[in-house]
Amino acid sequence: MKKIPIVSIVGYSGSGKTTLVEKMIPELKRRGWRVATIKHNRHGFEVDHEGKDSWRHRRAGASVTVLASPGKVAVMADLEGDLSLGELADRFIRGVDVILTEGFKKNPHPKIEVYRKSLGRDFISRGDASLLAIAGDRPQGIDAPCYDLDDIAGLADLIEKKVIRA
């Protein structure tokens, strides 16, 4: 089975990563691609609410709980550690053409860094061979293609050419 291609949108908090992903999804869908997303949160998260049935199942010791309803499913699973993007994709994502990720700064997949000089932070992907492009301001000394944050069509063209159809 062919691996689903992954593109990571990386950058510092407040740079516009989520907004870029929000704009990329409908553009890629308009072009006929099925899109999944993975968002990493290094601080952890909870989707269960105390007292709800799924919370009670987990509290009783279930290692995996699946919430299912017509048209929607959610999986909550205990993990020994942080899974790689490839492991997450292999375990949990099916039936899509591309996966857009947010928050995985250090990974081997093609990445687009959202960079804003005004944040006064270093460029995360300096020296990273998997850097596909920059969205926002061009940092000094980086030769990767640079797109305006509003050039969603151009970024989608790049993803189609270099990642989905590669």
Cα-to-chain-centroid distance, residue 162: 17
Q: b vs e for 98-122, b when ≥16 Cβ sit within 10 Å of the residue's Cβ?
A: bbbbbbbeebebbbbbbbbeebeee
Q: Is residue 56 part of a domain?
A: no
Q: What is the pLDDT of residue 54?
A: 80
pTM of the full predicted structure? 0.87
Percent of the chain at pLDDT > 90 equals 63
Classify residue 67: in a domain, yes or no. Answer: no
pLDDT at 156 over 80: yes
Q: Is residue 59 situated within a structural domain? A: no
pLDDT tens figures, 12-67 = 999 999 999 999 999 999 999 999 999 876 655 566 678 888 888 888 888 888 88
Alpha-carbon dihedral sign for residues 133, 27, 13, 137: positive
CATH number at residue 143: 3.40.50.300
The Cα–Cα gap between 104 and 21 comes to 13
Q: H/E element holding 17? A: helix 17-30
- Count of the separate structural domains present in the chain: 1
Residue 50 resides in a domain = no
* Cβ count within 10 A of residue 166: 9
Query: For 81-105, how does the pLDDT look when each residue is reduced to its tens digit (9 = 90+)?
Result: 888 888 989 988 999 999 999 988 8
pLDDT averaged over the chain?
90
Domain assignment of residue 41, given as a range: 6-45+79-164
